[in-house]
Structure 1
Amino acid sequence: MGRRRKGRDISGILLLNKPAGRTSNSAMVVCRAIYNAAKAGHTGALDPLATGVLPVCFGEATKFSQFLLDADKAYRSRFIFGQNTDTADADGEVVSEADASQLTKEALEAAIDTFRGDIEQVPPMYSALKKDGRPLYELARKGIEVERAPRPVTIRRFELESFRPGALAEAVVEVHCSKGTYIRSLAVDLGEVFACGGHVAELHRIKAGPFDESGTVTMDTLQALRDVEDFDGLDALLIPVERALEHIPALHLVESCAYYLRLGQAVFVANAPTEGTVTLFDEHGQFMGIGEILDDGRVKPRRLIANM
């Protein structure tokens, strides 16, 4: 018999504005403690230096975190040209310097244009990707560098918002991209174009999937509510998990279909799509979970909310 988790049995998504200096995992652990939640997980790591939108899933919402992990992201970042660091961001040690005075706004915009669309990107050594079961950052901290295969990513939008020339030139950019994109690698690769080096000085995630920074809350706000034990106020900040899945076609089921799907059986549903993934809602409009369309047109339950 499995051991029962301690904590409150709550479900939903918290949009945290992650502070700088924390890993995504440590921020999630603090949120879980503040909420006294039985189960929690985050939906895609941000570097310790980074701030911004970090969806934290509680309870049943953790079953659907992959859909946020796979979603597009958007960032605002400040790049420094004229220096390379060992981590490709301002948290690292400077390993090389070169005068970036020759860099102009026009030249940078032209270079940025070549990074839009489908590109291949070499992940940085300081990343959570694994080599023979070990995270690359562990090897990097020991001074070990290994070959990394380029990975396909999509840069949907890459705009230069401001530019300050100089020996250490600065650029503020906004990037909308597919999952798995490393903004640090964009800074490094642009630095290589101009043979001056580059790294990320600041990084702020402004959007993750359907969620933008306008709906985020700070850890200070959460802690203030916890200090007065206002759990109703904390719970009111949670977003229903179906909000993260609004891009997926929805099926509203009659009672009999909902009944058999809850038993794990595939059913025929009128006017269902002919293929792909669907969200499932019962006859009362309550979210049930995720289903998929089989080759014969039936809807099969893929991941359902428990205790319905």
Structure 2
Amino acid sequence: MSKPQRPRTVFRPLDGILLLDKPTGISSNQALQQARHLFRAAKGGHTGSLDPLATGLLPLCFGEATKIAGLLLGARKAYDAVAVLGTTTDTDDADGEVLRERPVPQGLSDADIEASLAPLRGAIRQRAPVYSALKQGGEPLYARARRGEVIEAPVREVRVDALALVARDGPRLSLHVECGSGTYIRSLVRDMGEALGCGAHVAELRRLWVEPFRQPRMYTLDALRSLRGGQGEAALDACLLPLEAGLGDFPSVHLDHEGAGRLGHGQVQQVDREPAETAVAYGPDGRALGLASVDAQGQLRPRRLFSWALPDPGPSATQIDPGA
């Protein structure tokens, strides 16, 4: 007897940003796909991976908002982490296999911990974890690591704006981190542990905010499922932020009807503002029209426009996901 098939998801055009509270135990892409199916969003993307172990803010972009996902990917972020001293793992977190156990130094003081953290602040060079999504030769490092290959993880320049010990409970240290894009909290904890001579790994990790969402109203997948089942799709859509919410930290250029039309046709035009590599062009109704640059001569050049800024964009076709 054949198994009953689940109904296919009929996707729809949908634009906006969802501030998802990612659960532990699933990848960022799995979280994205679950949310995308709940909203029936035809197009979606996330703004930088959280490890499966991690929870917290994962901004998801639907529809035209995917055009600004790269901007959010490079934003500053904040985390709370719990590090466990004395044990190192192959992934540098609790999901990995134990590589080595060492005693925590007797009489370890807060001053000792501070001394191990101080070199990890500011502009630093950091070696990424072997089990990471960074690619070498077009393949993620974690895929090669799972095959048992010997890997030399890349060393990159990152920025750590804040790294503080918040509390201690035996070998468990609660840390607060604020950092720039590309920083691995697992690597910070690994390097701290080595400086202390006993090793360490991340046991818990939660992302608190991603600029510009400093005080985010987050939604869990369970809460979204409950909303959809109890109040319907309109209640789900009310959870979305307009894509403009992700653009508030960038320079703005406000255009009149004529200027908006020229922008939509890809024309360069003179504006009265300081140079900016990335600026947001707004129409007379206050809606963002797209991303642009402004050169030293005040020339506004379109870079990436949203569909409603283009002349006669045409209807959007409903899509069906045959694998849903």
**How does 1:138-287 map onto structure 2 within 5 Å?**
138-165=143-170, 169-212=171-214, 214-228=216-230, 230-269=232-271, 271-287=272-288
Taking a change above 3 Å as real, the CA distance of residues 123 and 238 of structure 1, as seen in their structure-2 partners, is same
Q: Is the 8 A contact 2:275 2:293 kept in 1?
A: no
**Alpha-carbon distance, 1:213 to partner:** 5.8
- Normalised to the residue count of structure 2, the TM-score between the two structures is 0.89
**Alpha-carbon distance, 1:45 to partner:** 0.3
Question: Which residue identity is paired with 2:223?
Answer: T
Question: Which residue identity is paired with 2:149?
Answer: I
Question: Which residue identity is paired with 1:53?
Answer: L
Q: Is the 8 A contact 1:291 1:299 kept in 2?
A: yes
> What is the CA deviation profile of residues 117-145 of structure 1, one whole-angstrom value per residue up to 9, with x for unaligned ones?
00000001000111222211011112222
Question: Which residue identity is paired with 2:113?
Answer: L
Q: Choose 121-130 or 287-296, whichever is displaced more.
A: 287-296
Q: Choose 30-39 or 285-294, whichever is displaced more.
A: 285-294
**Alpha-carbon distance, 1:229 to partner:** 5.9
* Unmatched runs of 5 consecutive residues or more in structure 1: none
Question: Which residue identity is paired with 2:103?
Answer: D
Specify which of 92, 116, 120 is matched with residue 115 of structure 1: 120
- Normalised to the residue count of structure 1, the TM-score between the two structures is 0.94
Q: Distance in 1 between matches of 2:129 and 2:201?
A: 11
Specify which of 37, 44, 69 is matched with residue 40 of structure 1: 44
Q: Distance in 2 between matches of 1:106 and 1:147?
A: 33
Q: Distance in 1 between matches of 2:142 and 2:228?
A: 35
Taking a change above 3 Å as real, the CA distance of residues 162 and 80 of structure 1, as seen in their structure-2 partners, is same
**Alpha-carbon distance, 1:104 to partner:** 2.1
Q: Is the 8 A contact 1:52 1:213 kept in 2?
A: no
**Alpha-carbon distance, 1:208 to partner:** 1.0
Match of 2:136 in 1: 131
Query: Is 1:18 the counterpart of 2:22 in the alignment?
Result: yes
**Alpha-carbon distance, 1:47 to partner:** 0.4
Match of 2:73 in 1: 69
Match of 2:319 in 1: none
Q: Distance in 1 between matches of 2:223 and 2:192?
A: 38
**Alpha-carbon distance, 1:274 to partner:** 2.6
Q: Is the 8 A contact 1:249 1:277 kept in 2?
A: yes
> What is the CA deviation profile of residues 137-188 of structure 1, one whole-angstrom value per residue up to 9, with x for unaligned ones?
01111222222231000000111100123xxx11000100010000000111
Q: Is the 8 A contact 1:17 1:213 kept in 2?
A: no
Q: Is the 8 A contact 2:244 2:287 kept in 1?
A: no
* Unmatched runs of 5 consecutive residues or more in structure 2: 1-8, 310-324
Q: Distance in 1 between matches of 2:265 and 2:136?
A: 41
Q: Is the 8 A contact 1:162 1:172 kept in 2?
A: yes
1:171 is paired with a residue whose SS is: strand
1:205 is paired with a residue whose SS is: strand
Q: Distance in 1 between matches of 2:125 and 2:294?
A: 32
Query: Is 1:307 the counterpart of 2:308 in the alignment?
Result: yes
Match of 2:90 in 1: 86
Q: Is the 8 A contact 2:19 2:58 kept in 1?
A: yes
1:157 is paired with a residue whose SS is: strand
2:82 is paired with a residue whose SS is: strand
> What is the CA deviation profile of residues 188-222 of structure 1, one whole-angstrom value per residue up to 9, with x for unaligned ones?
10111122111000000001121146410111111
Q: Distance in 1 between matches of 2:279 and 2:214?
A: 23
Question: Which residue identity is paired with 1:176?
Answer: E
> Taking every aligned residue pair, what percent have the same amino acid on both sides?
43
2:304 is paired with a residue whose SS is: strand
Question: Which residue identity is paired with 2:183?
Answer: T
1:272 is paired with a residue whose SS is: coil
Taking a change above 3 Å as real, the CA distance of residues 154 and 184 of structure 1, as seen in their structure-2 partners, is same
2:266 is paired with a residue whose SS is: coil
Q: Distance in 1 between matches of 2:156 and 2:96?
A: 24
Taking a change above 3 Å as real, the CA distance of residues 150 and 117 of structure 1, as seen in their structure-2 partners, is same
Match of 1:105 in 2: 110
1:215 is paired with a residue whose SS is: coil
